[in-house]
Amino acid sequence: MTLATPSPLVHRPCRTRGSVKEEDVHARVAAQPAGRPDRRYRRRTVCRKYGAQFFVADRSNLAAMVTDPVFMVVSAAYFVAFPLLLIALVALYWRQAGRAGLFGAVAFCAALIGTVALAGDMWFDAFAVPWLVQVAPAVVSADRSGSLLMTGWLVSVVLFSLGWIIFGLASFRSRVFPRALSIAVGLGGLIGFKAATAPWGVALGLAVAALGFWLVRQDRIAHAKPALSAPEPVAFAGPR
């Protein structure tokens, strides 16, 4: 989702079967009877327009897309998800550190570094790219193959994906979490190789959220058991 990434969110405008040009939208709205605007139609049109921009790409309209207000809001929200992912990673490792061993520590460090690196990439997309396109439009068409920018992007996505894959494996080996959820984290890391472009990071986010939900539920059960199993005091009669 950066200038270094062949990103659907950054590089392509709306070119899908359901896409609608803005001129067509205005023409259809103007052709409707006065005083009875079809709000549902306009909402559907807006959803199709921006939904297509979100999932479909075209390098020819990069400058227009990155300065679009909807794109900027989505990019900022996508960036916020990565610091939250970091917090979740620390919490998950803390719960299994004693049983994860050296392999778990290496996995945690790799996932931590990769997530920090990709979070920086998302920050750049959300806040730097729109300004950069306005002040230096030539950067859009510049050749980035073999550049330091491409190298940095590749290192970020590889570390992010590999780190979460082995973190899922470490969780699977430690048996602290349900194995199905640990596998889901590893698969989310595999899919997360393309997490720089939405919606490929969603799978990992859902897997981590499921683990968090399971931990909260387990904590509630653990706190409820002592209250239910606490023995009642027994009074003994003393000698008369």
Question: Residue 147 and residue 129: Cα distance in Å, rounded?
Answer: 17
Q: What is the mean pLDDT of residues 38-47?
A: 53
- Lowest mean per-residue pLDDT among 40-54, 109-123, 132-146, 215-229: 40-54
- Lowest mean per-residue pLDDT among 30-34, 65-69, 85-89, 150-154: 30-34
Is the distance from CB of 48 to CB of 23 less than 8 angstroms?
A: no
pLDDT at 173: 93
Question: Residue 181 and residue 214: Cα distance in Å, rounded?
Answer: 9
pLDDT at 128: 86
- Categorise residue 27: left if φ over 0, alpha if ψ from -120 to 50, beta otherwise: alpha
Cα 214–Cα 217–Cα 218 angle in degrees, nearest 5? 85
pLDDT in tens, 43-61: 555 455 444 444 444 445 6
Considering only residues 234 and 143, tell me which one the structure prediction assigns the higher pLDDT.
143
Would you list the domain boundaries of the chain?
Answer: 76-224
Considering only residues 78 and 160, tell me which one the structure prediction assigns the higher pLDDT.
160
Query: Inter-axis angle of helices 202-229 and 69-123, to 10 degrees?
Result: 80
pLDDT at 190: 94
* Model confidence, pTM: 0.66
Instruction: Say what percent of the chain tops pLDDT 90.
Output: 35
- Lowest mean per-residue pLDDT among 63-72, 129-138, 167-176, 177-186: 63-72
